[in-house]
């Protein structure tokens, strides 16, 4: 089973960025834990701060992988194009947010992606990625 995690803008700064909201763990070390936990899954990771690169990656893997876990960061709340890309591919996508976006500013309450996703997880911290992968197994 092949699963790709995609993190969007500013998520390269996890562990450093607003630790009260996003925690103290960097994604690279968490990804190592995930690979150990799901040792039978072919798990890969891509991060980009650029909307078009995220769309290109969705197109690249979205007809051959078994699942995509996507935290599109702030693009969740702005990007019709990423929402359309999710609708255009065959691989199911799960939208993940580390924070509980519904307990935050109103502009974070709307997602242009959720409608085209298999499911949405938010507010579980980094555990959300694990839960999303689990749901594909």
Give the number of other CB atoms < 10 A from CB of residue 7.
Answer: 24
Tell which positions 29-68 bind ligand DQA, by CB under 6 A: none
Q: Which one of residues 47, 79, 91, 99 is an interface residue with ligand DQA (CB under 6 A)?
A: 99
Closer residue to ligand DQA, CB minimum distance, 65 or 129? 129
101 binds ligand DQA (CB under 6 A): yes
* Closer CB to ligand DQA, 19 or 64, in the complex: 19
Residue 53: other Cβ atoms inside 10 A: 14
Nearest to 4 by CA among 56, 80, 74, 76: 56
Strand order in the sheet with 67-71: 42-47, 2-7, 67-71, 93-97, 119-122
Q: Is 74 in the site for ligand DQA (CB under 6 A)?
A: yes
Residue 75 designated active-site: no
Does the active-site annotation cover 30? no
Tell me which residues are annotated as active site.
Answer: 22, 97
């Amino acid at each position: 089973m092949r699963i790709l995690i995609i993190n969007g803008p500013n998520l390269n700064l996890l562990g450093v960025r607003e630790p009260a909201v996003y925690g103290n763990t960097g994604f690279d070390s968490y990804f190592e834990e995930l690979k150990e936990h799901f040792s039978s899954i072919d798990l890969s990771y891509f991060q980009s701060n650029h909307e078009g690169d995220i769309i290109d990656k969705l197109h690249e893997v979205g007809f051959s992988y078994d699942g995509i876990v996507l935290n599109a960061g702030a693009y969740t709340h702005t990007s019709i194009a990423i929402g359309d890309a999710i609708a255009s591919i065959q691989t199911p996508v799960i939208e993940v947010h580390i924070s509980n976006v519904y307990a935050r500013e109103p502009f974070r309450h709307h997602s242009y992606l959720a409608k085209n996703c298999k499911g949405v997880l938010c507010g579980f911290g980094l555990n959300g990625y694990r839960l999303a992968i689990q749901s594909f197994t």
